[in-house]
Chain A
Amino acid sequence: MTPNSGTGTSATRRLGVLVIVLVISLALFGLQFSAEDVVQGSTVRIMYVHVPSIWTAYIAFFLTAVCSGVYLSRRQRSLAWDRVAGASAEIGVLFVAVSLVTGSLWGRLTWGTYWVWDARLTSTAFLFITYVGYLAVRRLDGTHRQRARRSSVMALLAVLEIPLVHFSVNLWRSLHQDASVADPNAKVKLDGLMLFSLFLGLVTFTLLFVWLVLHRQRTMLLEDSFADRGLDVAIAERRNEAGVQ
């Protein structure tokens, strides 16, 4: 290993290469080899990035919740759990944003409009805002432990909130409008190659997510230890103020 290899290791580099290969093959399968859908036509090709990205976001927020729970439940609380939770939430927010954008592009082609007040879209938007709020709480002033405690509690509250929002939004839509667009995937009849492309997308994005989390939580560790080091310097200065040392 070179002395300055950043946040990478041979394992992450191998994973990174694998992800790149998978992304290229996903592009080939998704955009070239797979056939157009009978109903959706070529727009189905958006699904190969849209579905995996929302899938990844769900995994990310699930991981955030699990790590937050573990952090709070341990007697010896380790900040590593908090950092993984934070890294995962950040990447989750990225992927929700991606899926909202790709979803609305797909919607423009299919429904003729970028946004419909469909239950799934609306609750995904709320999911996005909720975790943007979570990230804002992580940035509040305080020590690492304060940040970890506050944000873990927030992540667990989000676990309560999201099903409630989802349920109520569902109820809201189902009573007000025919569920004509509720389930975009229901109409898709996937043949073998399309199914494979979608599956490939899920695997690719999941591995990409793992790679990103590994790197991000290492950067967070570095950020934390730099803040600690800054504290050491500040303590020394403060002692000198009094001429103790």
Chain B
Amino acid sequence: MDHAAFILGSWIGTAVAVIAYAAWVLRRGRALSKHASTEEKPWT
């Protein structure tokens, strides 16, 4: 069923895009906060 390919494709594509972005944000945040003092991180 070639519908299934399109449906799964759109779900997986969405997931990949969002996860990639989230991973980029988290990794960047982690890398930067390693060198940040507590007052530079008001959420802690």
Contact = CB atoms under 8 A, between A and B. Distances in A.
Given A94-B17, A222-B41, A31 B30 contact: no
Nearest to A41: B3
A98 B13 contact: yes
A222 to B, nearest CB: 4
Interface in A13-43: 23, 27, 30-31, 41-43
Contact of A9 (B10, B13, B40, B44): B44
B29 A215 contact: yes
B43 A7 contact: yes
Interface string B16-41: 01100110011011101111100011
A64 to B, nearest CB: 17
Given A49-B11, A94-B21, A222-B36, A7 B29 contact: yes
Contacts of A226: 32, 35-36
Interface of B: 1, 3-4, 6-7, 9-11, 13-15, 17-18, 21-22, 25-26, 28-30, 32-36, 40-44
Contacts of B17: 94, 97-98
Given A7-B26, A42-B3, A42-B4, A49 B36 contact: no
A31 B3 contact: no
Which of B15, B25, B40 has the largest count of A CB atoms less than 10 A from its CB?
B25
Given A49-B14, A94-B21, A98-B18, A105 B6 contact: yes
Contacts of A30: 11
Interface string A77-110: 0000000000000010010011001100110110
Given A94-B21, A219-B28, A46 B10 contact: yes
Contacts of A192: none
